[in-house]
Each structure stands twice: as C-alpha cells, then as structure tokens.
Amino acid sequence: MAVNLSFLSEIDDPESVVTAIPSSPTFPEFVEGRFNRYGVFVDLFQSLIMESSSSAELLDTIRNPKVYKADVRMPLLKLFRRCVSTVIDTEKSKKLMNPTSMFVDNYGHTFKDIDLLKRQFSNMPEKDKYALTSLIGEYDDRGKQGYILTDLFFTWFEDKFSGKLTIEGPRGAGKDIQLQSIFEDFESDYPCDFVVRDFESSEVLAVGFARYDSTRGGSQSDDRTGGNNDKVMKADEFSKSSSTNFQLLFLSDGPGLTHRDTWEEACILDGKLSDRVRVSTLKLADERITEQWIRN
C-alpha cells in the first residue's frame, strides 16, 4: 500500500492554516481615493468624446503614443472598456503593436455610438464620476497580496536560515527567474519566483513558486493546477536526464486555496516525487519548510 506523503490532506480545517491579507480598503473608504486618482482622467475622457467624430476615432486618439504616454493611456483605455465596449481587452489594447484597425474592424460593431456617448458625458453628474472612478480602480490592488506574501516569506526565511541558506528573487513586482538562467542545460520555459541556495557553496537546493489567492475556483483553479503539475513533471524529467536534484516548494496561501477543488489539487501536489514537492502556507512554514527537507 502506497504511503501518503501529503501533509495537507491530514488537515481537518484548511481555513485555519491560511494567511489573511486584506487586498484594499473597503467601501466606502476607497471611494474618495479612487476619485482623487482617476477624476482627472474622466474629465479628459469626457473632452475627448466631445472632440471625436466616432468611437473608433476616440480609440485611435487614446492609443496614439505621440498624444499620450502610457501612464495616461492606461486609465483612458480602462474608461473605454467600461464606457464604450466591454469586449476591448485592456491588456491587449495597451500593446501598441496591435493596430487600432484590428479592434475597429473586428469589434467596432460593439462600440457605443459617439452621439450617445456625447449625450451621456456632456453633463455628467459628480456622483456618476465617483461611481465611474470606483469602477476603473477596481483592480488597482490586484497582485498586491502576492507581493506582501512574498515579502513576509522572504523575511521569515532569511531570519530562520541566516548563515545557512539564501533565497533570491523579486520580493514585489519583478521578472520571474528562468530556470535556464540557473541551469544552462535546462531547455524549456520554466519561470519561478525564488531560488534557494546553500549559503557557502551557492548550490541550488530548491526552486519555489508563491501565489496568493483571495478567491479561486472553476477554470482558474484548473489552469493553476495544470500549470503546477507541468512544473513538477518538467523538473522531474530534468533531474532524471541531468542527475541534478532540487526540491520544489509551492508557497500557496489565501482563502482561495481552501476552495474544495483547489484544496484537493494542492493535497495531491503536496508530497509528490517522494516528498521532493511540498505545498505550504506561511502559517505552516516553520513545520513544513525545514533545512533538513531543503537539503534532502
């Protein structure tokens, strides 16, 4: 009978082991701040509507790098998505390599008519501007919890393993570490969030991935699970072909981790490859992330 190496699967109350990191102020505390940040862009968007002969022309003006730099263009694109066409993906439209004609030719039929926009924005009440700025600032703090989690973990790690192990990687926003930059003969794409080394020899002992999920389920959970399994398989294949061994640590945290499907998949992942793979929350770090395991 196979030995169950999943520590997580033995936890009766998953909620008790996750870290609560609030993402942003609650309503109505955030309203004034978002208005102060985005109100000027609503005014600019309003003036651009009045000057445009069509919604397509409005989008073209917003995306013109000779007219607006990125820090102005992004809020205007968010406004366009909210007010003109919800099918215009902001992440795609911000990339100027994509011509405006691509959006107009394929999605122009979804654009709100410019005359209607002019009527709606000509005498917009202050309360509507407050509502609009609240909407476009909705995702301002997206990713912030992950940065906080990584920073807390790095601080914990450096305090616990000072003089024994080192950890490297971005604490906040920053480029992932490609495993190919660590192992020259690793050929495939393999981004990770941090690398653990021996303090004296600098030998790589573990690579890790940090994720904070405030909520998660359905297809998002499936995508995350598939990606994690792929990381484990690629690492195992590399170890077998190169005789290079390292541990895999998934620092997973947040209330979203406890969704049934997500938690079940974390339990399956935890303990894989004869316990070379571990899944841990910050609260479980002292128990799960030990020097003995890292050096195993």
Q: What is the pLDDT of residues 183-224, one digit of tens each?
A: 988 988 999 999 999 999 999 999 999 999 987 644 444 445
- Assign 179 a pLDDT band (cuts: 50, 70, 90): very high
pLDDT value of position 1: 38
- Assign 72 a pLDDT band (cuts: 50, 70, 90): very high
For the chain, where are the alpha helices, taking DSSP H only?
29-51, 55-62, 70-83, 90-93, 100-107, 114-122, 126-136, 144-160, 218-242, 260-269, 272-275, 285-288, 291-294
Top pLDDT among 22 and 57 is at 57
User: Would you say the C-alpha torsion 177, 175, 219, 103 has a positive or negative sign?
Assistant: negative
Percent over 70 (pLDDT), the chain = 95
Say whether pLDDT at 225 is over 70: no
Tokens 């770090």 found at: 285
Say whether pLDDT at 249 is over 70: yes
Say whether pLDDT at 153 is over 90: yes
Say whether pLDDT at 289 is over 70: yes
Give the count of alpha carbons within 13 A of 174, CB side only: 13
Region 48-53 average pLDDT: 98
3-state secondary structure at position 194:
strand
pLDDT value of position 8: 95
Number of Cβ within a 10 Å radius of residue 34? 20
**Which tens digits make up the pLDDT trace of 76-87?**
999 999 999 999
Q: Quick check: 208 and 170 in contact, CB under 8 A?
A: no
- Give the span between the Cα atoms of 277 and 268, in whole angstroms: 10
pLDDT value of position 172: 78
pLDDT value of position 85: 97
- Assign 150 a pLDDT band (cuts: 50, 70, 90): very high
Region 242-267 average pLDDT: 93
The answer to whether the bond into 28 is cis (omega within 30° of 0) is: yes
